[in-house]
Amino acid sequence: MVRILIVEDDEDIGNILERELIKSGYETCRAYSGTEGRLMLSTDPDLILMDLMLPGMSGEELLSHITDGTPVIAVSARSSIDDKVSLLEMGCVDYITKPFEIRELKARVGSALRNSSKKKTESIIPAGDVTLNITDRTIDVKGTDLHLTRTEYAIFKLLMVNKGRVVSKSEILDLIAKDTPDCIDESSLKVHVSNIRRKIKNAGGTDPIEAVWGIGFKISDQS
């Protein structure tokens, strides 16, 4: 799975970035200072979203320590042409000015990953009889296309990209809330999950979703 390192000292902005990137199927890790960001380089991220005005070590200083070809997108309130040109000349592949639009940021992230020589995208995720193709937004069950509603797909993709980990009901509701207004509480979530499981079984597949009582749902880490 593609891993994105978010280096951002503003917790609210960092939370937004993390939530939206996870919804898009990325794995994320966080750093709250430039110094911590340097330490987090050991996690081998595929892309770095980096603020410039960071405690401990500035974004410019951190950039000098990134020498393995990892693409870096600067995300900053500094909007002058000189700032942008300087960062691009120092090695950033892109520069996004705060405040930003989520759709534009996601598009720029996708473009940077496609153009990166380091990319190692895993867009196809298997789980037993079921295979999710994130790029094509398709689900295959033993050679048959599985048709899910928008909400069902959002839930299933979230579980698949977190395969092997229990995802709590509250986390699911929070992460899909913006795009799925018809899933607003735990009762409606259970109905949607039940529908997904039924459709998989009707397609001849073995249900990969496990309900973890009192917590949430998970997909076993077995392909």
Residues 83 and 106 in one domain: yes
pLDDT for the residue 74: 94
Alpha-carbon radius of gyration of the chain: 19
Query: Which segments of 56-185 does DSSP mark as H helices, in order?
Result: 59-63, 81-90, 102-115, 150-161, 169-176
pLDDT for the residue 145: 94
pLDDT at 77 over 60: yes
CATH number, residue 174 = 1.10.10.10
Interval 32-50 mean pLDDT:
91
pLDDT for the residue 149: 92
pLDDT at 39 over 60: yes
Question: Which domain covers residue 155, as residue numbers?
Answer: 124-219
Q: pLDDT tens digit string along 158-185?
A: 899 888 888 899 888 887 876 677 888 8
How many distinct structural domains can be found in the chain?
A: 2
Q: pLDDT tens digit string along 114-127?
A: 887 554 445 788 99
CA distances to 173, 180, 193 from 189, in Å: 8, 11, 6
Residues 133 and 81 in one domain: no
Interval 130-154 mean pLDDT:
90
pLDDT at 34 over 50: yes
Give the DSSP H or E segment for 36.
helix 34-40
- C-alpha–C-alpha distance, residues 59 and 110, integer Å: 22
Q: Which of 59, 91, 115 corresponds to the end of one domain? A: 115
Residues 101 and 131 in one domain: no
Residues 10 and 107 in one domain: yes
Residues 136 and 86 in one domain: no
Residues 166 and 194 in one domain: yes
> Minimal CA–CA distance to 183: which of 221, 152, 138, 148?
152
pLDDT for the residue 121: 42
Helices 150-161 and 186-202 cross at an angle (nearest 10°) of 90
pLDDT for the residue 117: 59
116 burial via Cβ count (<10 Å: 0-12, 13-18, 19+): middle
For residue 2, what pLDDT band results from cuts at 50, 70 and 90? confident
Which residues neighbour 202 within 8 Å (Cβ) at sequence distance 6 or greater?
Answer: none
- Lowest mean pLDDT segment, chosen from 105-109, 115-119, 200-204, 211-215: 115-119
Residues 133 and 72 in one domain: no
Interval 6-26 mean pLDDT:
93
- C-alpha–C-alpha distance, residues 61 and 67, integer Å: 12
**Which residue type is seen at 137?**
R
Q: Which of 115, 134, 161 corresponds to the end of one domain? A: 115
HSE-CB for 75 with a 13 A CA cutoff: 24
Q: Which of 77, 94, 115 corresponds to the end of one domain? A: 115
Predicted TM-score of the model (pTM): 0.56
Residues 22 and 100 in one domain: yes
Residues 62 and 133 in one domain: no
pLDDT at 223 over 70: no
